[in-house]
Amino acid sequence: MEDKDKKEGILYIGIDLGTSRTSVAASNGVRETVWSYVGYPKDVVSRKLLKKDVLFGKEAVEKRLSVNLYRPFEEGIIKYKAAEDKGLTEADIEKHMSAAKDLVREALRLAKPRKDEYIYGVIGSPAQASFKNKEAIIASTKGVLDAVMVCSEPFAVAYGLELLEDTLVIDIGAGTVDLCRMHGTMPAEEDQLTLTTAGDWLDKQLMALFKKKAPNASISIHQVKDIKEKYAFVAETAEPIRVEFIESGLPTVYDITNEVREGCRMIVPPIVQAIHKLVSTFEPDFQVKLRENVLLGGGGSQIIGLGRVLEDAMQKMLGSGRVIQVDEPKYAGANGALKMAHDMPEQYWKKLG
C-alpha cells in the first residue's frame, strides 16, 4: 500500500447509507447508487456459477436463490445494533458487519477514488441515531475512509439545498422517516424525530392487502416493492392499477388500485403527528414560517399526491401548511453530505487509523 504521507489531495464523498439504496456523490463529479443488498455464494456450485465471491445490489437480489442475501442496514442503521432484541448470534452479528463493510467498499469503489488521494466521507444517518449506532456506522468505514463524519440525513438534505433556517425537513426512506427542523444552527435532539413507519413497513401493509385481495396467489416482497415503486399514490383518483399474480402456476390479473391507495395512506397519520409535534413545540414566533416551509425528500416523497395530502392534513391541524419536494430524491442526501464535507474544518473530522 502506498505511503499515506505521499498522497496528494483529498477526495470528498457524501454517502447516503440507506436501507434500500446506498448513494454516493464525490468531489470528482461521480454520482452513483446501488441497492443496499450484499450476497455471498451459498456453496461451491453457486460460486462456480456466479464466478464471484460477493455480489451487490440488483445483481445480488436477482441471484438470491444462489446466495446468502444480506441487507446490512435496517431502519437506517447496521443490523447488529439490535442483536439482543432480534436474537442474533455472534456469527450473525459478524456476517452483518462484514456485509456492511463490503457495501461501503463497493459504494466507494463506484466513486472511483485515485490511489494518491485521501478519502474523507460524510455519512447520513437516521435523525435520532444513538451514539452507539453512529459508532457502528463509523466502524463500518474503517479501512475504507481516512476520515469520517456522521450527520442526520434530513440535515444533509437541508444543507445541500441551503435551507438552514425555518424549514422542516421530512426524509422518507425505506427504513425510517426522519424529520428535522432547521433554525440556523446545528439541530439538537429535540429538533429531530425518527419514525419506523417507512418504506419497508409500507411494503408489509401492502403485502397484507394484496394477500387479502388474492389469498391463493404467490406474492414475494420483492414484487410488492416493485409495485410500490411503480404505482404508489395517495390521491383520490388514479388510473387503474392491474398486475399479474401467480396462482397455481398460472398468471392471474388483479385490479389493486384501492389496495395501493389504502396502503400508501397508512404512512400519512404518523408523519402528520410528527409534524404537529415539531411545529407546536417550536418557538411560537417562528411556527408559521416552519409549517409554511416543509421540505419532502427521500424515495417516499415520490408517492403521487403525498405533498397535497400532507398540506390538507396540516391545514386541518395547524391552520396552514406548504410542502415542497426535492428535485433529486435519490441524491439529495448524498449531495448535501458532499457539500458539508467540502465546508467542514479539519477539526470536525474523525480520523480513522
CA distance 193 to 272: 12
Domain ranges of the chain: 4-158+332-351, 199-265
Q: What's the pLDDT score for residue 125?
A: 81
Separation CA 86–CA 59 (nearest Å): 27
What pLDDT is stored for residue 1 in this prediction?
Answer: 36
Predicted local distance difference test score (pLDDT) of residue 38:
95
User: Quick one: pLDDT at residue 82?
Assistant: 52
∠108-327-238 over CA atoms, to 5°? 120
Distance CA 34, CA 149 (A): 21
Q: Across the strands, what pairs with 74?
A: 77
Question: Collapsing DSSP states into helix, strand and coil, what is residue 9?
Answer: coil
What are the mean pLDDT values of the chain's consecutive 10-residue runs (353 residues total)?
52 90 94 94 94 95 94 66 59 82 89 91 78 76 88 89 92 90 88 91 97 94 94 91 93 95 96 94 92 92 94 90 90 94 90 78
Q: At residue 161, what are phi and psi to the nearest 5 degrees?
A: -95, 0
Phi first, then psi: give them for residue 219, nearest 5 degrees.
Answer: -130, 130
pLDDT at res. 142:
82
Beta bridge partners of 34: 22
Question: DSSP state, 91?
Answer: H
CA-to-CA distance for 174 and 197, rounded, in angstroms? Answer: 9
Query: Measured between alpha carbons, how far is 156 from 15 in angstroms, rounded to an integer?
Result: 10
**Is 199-265 in the same CATH topology as 4-158+332-351?**
yes
Pick the CATH number of 199-265 from 3.40.50.11540, 3.30.420.40, 3.30.70.20, 3.40.50.2300: 3.30.420.40
Alpha carbon 136 to chain centroid, angstroms: 17
- 3-class secondary-structure state, position 277: helix
Question: What is the rounded CA–CA span in Å between residue 92 and residue 90?
Answer: 5
Which pLDDT score is estimated for 175? Answer: 87
Task: Judge whether 175 and 123 are in contact, CB under 8 Å.
Answer: no
Per the structure block, which three cell numbers stand in for 59?
A: 445483481
Indicate if the alpha-carbon torsion angle 153, 155, 156, 157 is positive or negative. positive
One DSSP character per residue, 208-226 reads HHHHHHSTT-B--HHHHHH
CB 334 within 8 A of CB 157: no
- Alpha carbon 179 to its chain centroid, in Å, reads 13
Report whether 255 contacts 274 (CB < 8 A).
no
Q: From edge to edge, which strands make up the β-sheet containing 55-56?
A: 55-56, 38-41, 67-70
Question: What is 4-158+332-351's CATH number?
Answer: 3.30.420.40
Buried-state track 224-263, b at ≥16 Cβ within 10 A, e below 16: bbebbeebbbbeeeeeebebebeeeeeeeebebbebbbeb
Strands 118-125 and 147-152, sheet pairing:
parallel
Give the HSE-up count for residue 99: Cα atoms under 13 Å, Cβ half-sphere.
30
171: number of Cβ within 10 Å: 35
Per-residue pLDDT at 94? 80
Q: Which helix (H) or strand (E) holds 59?
A: helix 57-62
The cell for 32 is 452513483
Q: What is the pLDDT of residue 198?
A: 93
Alpha-carbon distance 335 to 7, whole Å? 25
Reading the block at residue 268, the C-alpha cell is 400519512
The DSSP secondary-structure symbol of 77 reads E
